[in-house]
Structure 1
Amino acid sequence: MRIIFMGTPDFSVPVLQALVDAGHDVVASYSQPPRRAGRGKALTPSPVQARAEALGIAVRTPVTFRDAEAQAEFAGFGADVAVVAAYGLILPRAVLDAPARGCLNVHASLLPRWRGAAPIQRAILAGDAATGVCIMQMEAGLDTGPVLLRDTTPVDAKTAGVLTDELSAMGARLMVEVLGDLDAFAPVAQPGDGVTYAAKIDKAEARLDFTQSAAAVERQVRGFNPVPGAFFEFQGERIKVLAAQIRHPGEGGDLHEDSESEQPDGPGLRRGDGGVVLDDLLTIACGDGAIRPTLLQRAGRGVMTAGELLRGFAIPAGTQL
């Protein structure tokens, strides 16, 4: 098929590559404009732009599709279909209707759950047991279009980075399957019940909230790995937590359900102790239970274990984080 591809981040790249590998004619690739990045703040093309250029595909990076000139150029490619995967710009009706078979979206959730910008992170943060990918016919509403094909995967203990890679590969496979015989996939309207919205991640959300349950804090750690990176602050320094274990009362002898109990190797866990360091292993009390960070990173340093961190950067028991 004659295809326009539209995507921006790393998630989108395997989808573009799969279309090319399947023998489709990708006549143009749209991506958000280059952004300044790195210490030198040089303009850096998006992952999709870089891959498209390496594949010899024409690249367009409009700031908006509101003007008639951008819309006309898009229509001028004469595409059978546009494939959209985490593009990041709103497509007006003129763009949605330009390809002969419309626009198909690779959406990383089980619609209608988690419509919107950050479905992978929101699924982890909410404690969803499963997520997946939907191939959706795009319409004017936010991820409201009918679904042609879907697949699921358990969330388990995956980080956002691991889950993103898995769903990207799944989306590439499903899109190639749909485009192999588009007429064989009847669009199914999304149900009206179960709609949730995946708001864009605010960096402030990555600050670990130790007043929550240990399970919720551990989900923060996974949901914000690799970006923006869950963190706590100590002595004015921001320390990222890349992995953590949930600790329960009576586990390893360092947590207690009884608020009056004491122990030889650290303070007992009491209600309201969220954020208190309980021992010399960096076990941290939460609103319910505790967590023990296992992989951390100080600003400008490499990733290290809790033991490696504590050997040169003491965070003593009793510290309130």
Structure 2
Amino acid sequence: MRLAFMGSPDFSVPALRALHGAGHEIAAVYTQPPRPAGRGQALARCPVHVAAEAMGLAVHHPASLKRDPAAQAAFAALGLDAAVVAAYGLILPQSMLDAPRRGCLNIHASLLPRWRGAGPIQAAVLAGDDETGVTIMQMDAGLDTGAMLLEGAVPIGPHTTAADLHDALSSLGAGLVLRALAENPPPRAQPADGATYAPKLSRADSPLDWNRPAEELDRRVRALTPWPGTTCRLGDDVLKVLEAEPVASAGVPGTVLEGLTIACGTGALRLLRVQRAGRGPVAADAYLRGSPVPAGTALGLV
């Protein structure tokens, strides 16, 4: 089948590799443009760009599609059977949605209509959902509102992190989109109710609010690691909290009970692995050996 692939981050790479490995003709790969990264701010290609070039595929990285009629015309001229979209990052105008013979198929990392939007993996963990999954969706002009073709579910356990789900859903999506192309299942409209939205996260979401219940903060740590991360201030240190667990204890929210166990609005959160700015990750006991923290210490605002 003659395809275009449209994706940018690590999440998208397994699907591209699966499509290429299955013998589909990848006529073009679309990614986000290279952007400055690192201390030197050198232009860096996104993971899909790197993977596509390694496969010898033609890569396009327009800064915009809606404002680029030439890019739209070039896409239509590819004569595609379908386009596969996975976390691409640009909105496709209607002319591009309509151009492939079988339309544009999106690999969305949730069980639609739950968690439409930019951050479905993190949102499922934050909400304490028991499961999430991948939906292969026929794209339309709405925000993740298109008809569903295939679904697959993944459980969320008490220790599941967003990073765990990212890898599981990425692999699941690669397999499901191969099935969708091969089986051409009939589209099913999304349910009229039950839609929820997962907003895009930023560093403004990182500080931990110790007035919240410990179980909620535990989910927050698991959802926001590795990015944008969760943070707190302990003395002169701004700590990134990489791993934690809720425990049955009580005290004034935001104060140290013992070690790195912090009282919350309900219960307490024991920090298990942390990272100072500019340092590597360390276990809590290693941090305490270098920086003892007396009980009763109040954590400050980041």
* Partner Cα distance (1:236, 1:74) in 2: 54
- 1:274 maps to 253
SS of 1:226's equivalent? coil
Contact residue 243 and residue 274 of structure 2 kept, 8 A: yes
Distance 1:238 1:216 in 2: 21
- The superposition leaves residues 136-171 of structure 1 with CA deviations (integer Å, 9 ceiling, x where unpaired) of 000000000010000111111211111100000000
Instruction: Please report how far the alpha carbon of residue 181 of structure 1 lies from its aligned counterpart in structure 2 after TM superposition.
Output: 2.4
Provide the residue aligned with 1:23 in structure 2.
Answer: 23
Q: With the length of structure 1 as denominator, give the TM-score of the two structures.
A: 0.91
The whole-number CA distance in structure 2 between the counterparts of 1:92 and 1:313 is: 55
Shift of 1:190: 0.2
> Which residue number corresponds to residue 263 of structure 1?
none
Fraction of identical pairs, as percent: 55
- TM-score by length of structure 2 reads 0.97
Pairing 1:149–2:150 present: yes
SS in 2 for 1:316: coil
Aligned-CA RMSD value: 0.9
- Using the TM superposition, name which of 172-181 and 112-121 deviates more: 172-181
Partner of 2:107: 106
For 1:178-235, what per-residue CA distance to the aligned partner results, in whole angstroms no more than 9, with x for missing partners? 11122xx010000011111110002111111111110000011000111111110123
Secondary structure in 1 aligned to 2:256?
coil
- CA offset digits 1:270-302 (Å, max 9, x no partner): 4xx2111101x2110011000101111111111
Q: Quote the residue 2:14 is aligned against.
A: 14
Shift of 1:70: 0.9
SS at match of 1:215: helix
Q: Determine if the alignment matches structure 1 residue 118 to structure 2 residue 116.
A: no
* Alignment match of 1:311 (pick from 283, 289, 292): 289
Report the alpha carbon displacement of residue 88 of structure 1 after superposing the two structures with TM: 0.7
Which of residues 165, 172, 175 is equivalent to 2:174? 172
Tell me how far apart the structure 2 counterparts of residues 104 and 64 of structure 1 sit (CA, whole Å): 20
Amino acid at match of 2:173: G
1:82-97 to structure 2, matched below 5 A, reads: 82-97=83-98
Measure the CA separation in 2 of the matches of 1:96 and 1:197. 22
Deviation at 1:236, TM superposition (A): 4.1
Listed as ranges, the gaps of 5+ residues in structure 1 are 249-254, 256-268
**5+ residue gaps in structure 2?**
none
| 1:38 aligned partner | 38
8 Å CA contact 2:11–2:166 kept in 1: the answer is yes
Match of 1:302 among 271, 276, 280: 280
SS of aligned partner of 2:40: coil
User: Residue deviations 1:219-274, cap 9 Å, x none?
Assistant: 110001111111101234321111111101xxxxxx3xxxxxxxxxxxxx24xx21
- Partners in 1 of 2:279 and 2:265 — Cα distance? 30
| Partner Cα distance (1:222, 1:210) in 2 | 16
Q: Give, in whole Å, the separation in 2 of the partners of 1:294 and 1:146.
A: 43
* Whole-angstrom CA distance in 1 between matches of 2:77 and 2:163: 37
Q: Which has the larger radius of gyration?
A: 1
